[in-house]
Structure formats: structure tokens, C-alpha cells
Amino acid sequence: MATKRDFYEVLGVAKNASDEDIKKAYRKLAMKYHPDRNQGEDAKAKEAEAKFKEVKEAYEMLSDAQKRAAYDQHGHAGVDPNMRGGAEGFGGFGDAFGDIFGDIFGGQGRGGRGGGRQVFRGADLSYAMEITLEEAANGKDSQLRIPSWDACDTCSGTGAKPGTSAKTCSTCHGQGQVQMRQGFFSVQQTCPQCRGTGKIIPEPCGTCHGQGKVKKQKTLEVKIPAGIDDGMRIRSAGNGEPGTNGGPPGDLFIEIRLKKHSIFERDGDDLHCAVPISFTKAALGGEIDVPTLGGKAAIDIPEGTQTGKQFRLRGKGIKGVRGSYPGDLYCHITVETPVKLTEHQRKLLKEFDESLSKGGGKHQPSGESWTDKLKGFFGG
């Protein structure tokens, strides 16, 4: 802070200058260095911008009777919050200057590592991961490419162009917050100049554009637990975006999306699958193979099995993330009507049909009740 110029010197006025003189001097200099009149990216524009800020700060201090008094008495330490450490020795200083300073000093305990500046937790990131049913059932070690932020090598994380340095924000004096006075009230809000960081970088680093950090990719090892289901989220603490002013990073959430399976449909820990069988197999019965996640299994189809019949294979479902037992596999039978018959097959079926009709409907399990229902419906 030793390099900070005297406010009176900045405005080019005497120590005993009147309020009016201070105002005049400020207007003149502000016009001269105003960013609107000094546009461009060159050194001259940068210098004008820095001067403009310096002038503005000096005026803000000297145009306020309380701040001017503090400055006259204690110099920069009286008004510069970066000098807070020494301010305690002044005793009763906060009280003497009312709410403006009172709040600044009162806020000393707040914000932890960030000093008095506003500390923000980083944003959470979310990532959707599509996995197969098999992966969900068995678990999976997965690698994720996620964005990460590293301190910028060019500026060593300061955000300032090498050879230059960040300056304390003159609007909020490094607090990151400003007092907006509305009548009797003073409202604290994030400094619009530095957006709460408390620092202004006159010449930003070209690599990170003043961010002090660069976005990179990193590989994250993620363990997908066995039994995980569609829509479940895995939290990876601290792998979200970095915080501001030393605030903690956010978390990364991995949301699981289950790919559609060609055979199985999942319902919690249970699995369902459709099993088509020929009508002769359905009529005669016999053993058939059915698929399970662990390979083939055999089930015995009894004689005269109908479409819609379910067979439950205990324990052939999925063991949930918190489950102790695996669910079941339900095989739903559909009896298929044969198609593309040869002449010979047609003949056989006709003969077969004739023999069935001699049985008087007893070969159709729902035949009689169906005929009765129709009679009732037509009033016959």
C-alpha cells in the first residue's frame, strides 16, 4: 500500500480544499480519463483507465466528510480495508464512523479464507452416463473425462499479465462488497466492478484472460455399484467447478441412464422377458431354454400352456444397490401361430381341426365360457 498515491495529490488539490474545489478537480480529471474518451486496448487507454479509477477512488473518499476525516487522521490505513490488521489499534474507530465503517470492521470474522471478500462455493456439475443392463447388474469401473481447472502456468494463477499485478478494487477497496445507501438503510451487495473478487486486473494474462485458471480435462475413475438403476445419481464430492475466493468446489453428479435391452425389461430388482413358443410346444409341453443375465436356463412347459402364462425364475433378477437378495425373472409366454404353411401342412391342420371338432369344444379351454358370453351378448 506504500505505493498508493495521496488522494489530494491524485486530485491535484490542497489538503484544505473546499468540497466545491474537490468536486471541480474531480470532474475535470474524470472527463480527461473517462473510458469513453480513451477507448482501445493500447497502453495509453489502459493507463487512462487506471488513472480514472484512481481519481474516482480519491473523489469517493474526499467527497464523503466522514471518510475524508478518517483519511486526514490516519491516511490510507483509515479508509483502506486492506489495512484492517492495523486498524484495531485505533480503538472505537468503527463506532465513530457509523455504519459504513462499522460494517466493514464488523465483517472481519466473516468469509474465512477469503478475507472480507465474498466466498462462493463452486457450481455442481452433472454428467449423464449411459450403461447397459449387464453393467448395471454387475457394476462397472468407469473412466470419465471431466472438465477441471488448473492454476494458469503463464501467470501462476494471479490472472495478471506477467510483470504486472492485480490491484485492489477501488470501488469496494478489496471487500468484494459495496454498501448501497438508500435513505436510512445501507444495503450490502456484490461489488459490480470486481464481481466480488476484491481485485481488479489492469492487464489480464493473455492465456487465461484474467481468470487465473485454465480449463482442462481430467480423467476420473468412477465405480458404478452393482445393482444401480435408471435415474440414480452418484456423487463425486469436490469434482464440480472450483469455488471463488477460496470457496469450496462444487460436486460432480453422475446420473445413470439405463440403455434399452433387447431382451429384458427391468422393474426394480425384477426382470421381465417375453418368450415365444410354438403352438405345438404349447400344446404338447416340454422343456425350453430361456435367457437370463447369467446365461441360459431351462423351464418345463406343461401340456396345454396358453399365451400370457408367466414362469417365475427365483433369484434370476438383479440384486439392488441396497438389496440383500436378487429379484426374480418373469418369463411371459406367447404362443405363436405358425405362418407360411406348405400344402401338406395345411392338409394336416385341416385333418387335425376335424379331429378337434369331434371333441365337442373340450379342446378349447375358454371355448364354452366364450360361447355362453356371446349368447348373453346377442340375447340368444
In the bound state with Zn ion, the residue whose beta carbon lies nearer, of 171 and 239, is 171
In the bound state with Zn ion, the residue whose beta carbon lies nearer, of 180 and 356, is 180
In the bound state with Zn ion, the residue whose beta carbon lies nearer, of 81 and 227, is 81
In the bound state with Zn ion, the residue whose beta carbon lies nearer, of 126 and 189, is 189
Across the beta sheet with 125-131, what order do the strands follow? 125-131, 252-258, 233-236
Q: Is 61 exposed, middle or buried (0-12, 13-18, 19+ CB in 10 A)?
A: buried
In the bound state with Zn ion, the residue whose beta carbon lies nearer, of 175 and 292, is 175
For Zn ion, the binding residues (CB under 5 A) are 152, 154-155, 169, 171-172, 191, 193-194, 205, 207-208
Contact indicator for 193, 170 with CB cutoff of 8 Å: yes
In the bound state with Zn ion, the residue whose beta carbon lies nearer, of 208 and 222, is 208
Least distance CB 139 / Zn ion (angstroms): 41
Alpha helices in the chain (DSSP H): 7-11, 19-33, 43-62, 65-74, 76-79, 84-87, 93-96, 98-106, 133-138, 279-284, 343-357, 367-378
List of residues 6+ apart from 155 with CB closer than 8 A: 161, 162, 205, 207, 208, 212
Compute how many other C-beta atoms are within 10 angstroms of the C-beta atom of residue 364: 12
Tell me the backbone φ, ψ of residue 333, rounded to 5 degrees: -80, 130
List of residues 6+ apart from 353 with CB closer than 8 A: none
Least distance CB 1 / Zn ion (angstroms): 16
Least distance CB 160 / Zn ion (angstroms): 8
Residue 103 identity: D
In the bound state with Zn ion, the residue whose beta carbon lies nearer, of 56 and 266, is 56
In the bound state with Zn ion, the residue whose beta carbon lies nearer, of 166 and 271, is 166
DSSP readout, 194-239?
TTTSSEE-SSB-TTTTT-SEEEEEEEEEEEE-TT--TT-EEEETT-
Least distance CB 205 / Zn ion (angstroms): 3
List of residues 6+ apart from 210 with CB closer than 8 A: 159, 160, 201, 204
Least distance CB 75 / Zn ion (angstroms): 21
Distance of CA 56 to the CA centre of its chain: 39
Least distance CB 72 / Zn ion (angstroms): 24
Least distance CB 32 / Zn ion (angstroms): 23
Least distance CB 99 / Zn ion (angstroms): 19
Contact indicator for 251, 240 with CB cutoff of 8 Å: yes
Q: What is the C-alpha separation between 265 and 330, in angstroms, rounded?
A: 10
Least distance CB 79 / Zn ion (angstroms): 15
The size of the chain, in residues, is 380
b/e code 329-346 from CB counts within 10 Å (16+ = b)? bbbebebeeeeeeeeeee
In the bound state with Zn ion, the residue whose beta carbon lies nearer, of 193 and 239, is 193
